[in-house]
Amino acid sequence: MLSGKKIVLGVTGGIAAYKAASLVSKLVQKGADVHVIMTESAQQFITELTLQSLSKNPVYSDTFDEREPSVVSHIHLADLADLVIVAPATANMIAKMAHGLADDMLSTTLLATTAPIMVVPAMNVHMYQHPAVIDNMRILNARGVSFIEPGEGLLACGYVGKGRMEEPESIVQIVEQFFSGALQDKPQLLTGKKVVVTAGGTIERIDPVRYITNDSSGKMGVAIAKAAHDMGAEVVLVAGHIDVVPPINIQVVRVQSAQEMFDAVLEHWEDSDIVIKAAAVADYRPLHTADRKMKKSGDTMTLELVKTVDILERLGQIKKSQFLIGFAAETNDVEKYSREKLTRKNCDLMVANDVTSEGAGFRSDTNIVQIYDRLGLVEQLPMLSKEDVAQRLLTIAATRMGGVHS
């Protein structure tokens, strides 16, 4: 699949630079002609000689080191590339790309190329979640740059979280899919549709430093939003408290309370085609919210709570042509409560799970769900990744909107 493909690989200065050696080796084994450009800081982690030996091509690092008088090196590399990969991509290089800086060999080549670009971020979890980095990635994504998201795990800095460079084997598979056209041929079942997804837990303030919330991580809602985008939809993600970085290529509306989430959904309600309520909304909120920190007094404290707005029920009351999907996180009698909820809230589908089951609870990367409609069980899914659950759910929704039951 990669035979004869010319790939320019940019390597920047992070500890993950050592993975570039494996990536070069695997691309070459697949038949690719790999040309490496290193930043000065990348050379602190891995040598030019290593990547030259593996690529069988000269390695470039200095814009002014012109080795062939007949060409300008950075323009030559920019023109010959069928694909440019930046792996690892530091926050600094992503910022340079977003703002058009060209102060070294790699950034200059990236500015000159018209080839497709794939960026493989690798950095500390807090850096990856920083608003500046997220904004820069969104800018690049809007220009057509593709991102291979980092994985989660123990980082070199000692933190555990998202930021670890994707493994070379996975990158090579994605590159193969790109050249085979598979990435462009995903089913676009939701093209022309607007999908609104809620995700995460809501926060109901007691005072400026205390609040009521729940264990939702937002992983399921974010997975649905990403899958909807991949299937061609215009997506709005209304996010409460989430523990994951939302996709960079969709609109994200940040909220805290149940009322804020309801108001945000209503703003997009009229022209939405599918609304998916995957958020874990607090059922109750404090009747009174103190504007200052409440001081400790006595051995007990009574907190008076009142019901929050039932977003799903309200949407069910006002829906017209919208396809409404709810979620039911239960601990017992899952089918009974889920079907009652579907009817009471006028949903088209209800996605239910037993959150006490291993692999199906909050914060898990997997889920075990049953999908119901008014006639009963539509489909029972085994333990799957939340991404796979999202794909299947949206496929069912898309086919039903088209008048066909899957």
Binding-site residue numbers are 283, 293, 327, 341, 345
Which among 157, 160, 182, 303 is annotated as catalytic?
157
DSSP secondary structure letters along 328-380: EEESS-HHHHHHHHHHHTT-SEEEEEETTSTTSSTT-SEE--EEEETTEEEEE
Taking the CA atoms of 68, 72, 74 and 75 in sequence, report the sign of the dihedral they define. negative
Q: Closest Cα partner for 312 from 359, 278, 267, 353?
A: 278
Diameter of the chain measured on Cα atoms:
84
Contact (CB, 8 A) for 350 and 397:
no
For 284-385, where are the alpha helices, taking DSSP H only? 311-318, 334-344
Q: Closest Cα partner for 214 from 227, 202, 222?
A: 202
**Which amino acid, 146?**
S
Beta bridge partners of 380: 370
Can you say which residues are annotated as belonging to the binding site for CTP? 283, 293, 327, 341, 345
Q: Closest Cα partner for 88 from 22, 24, 17, 168?
A: 17
Between CA 289 and CA 305 the distance in angstroms is 10
Q: Closest Cα partner for 305 from 394, 389, 204?
A: 204
Q: In whole angstroms, how large is the CA radius of gyration of the chain?
A: 24
**125-147 burial string, b = 16+ CB within 10 Å, else e?**
bebbbeeebeebbbbbbeeebbb
Q: Is 347 a catalytic residue?
A: no
β strands within 47-164, DSSP E: 83-89, 117-121, 146-147, 151-154, 160-164
- The SS3 assignment for 24 reads helix
For residue 289, the tally of other CB atoms under 10 A from its CB is: 14
The residues annotated as belonging to the active site are 157
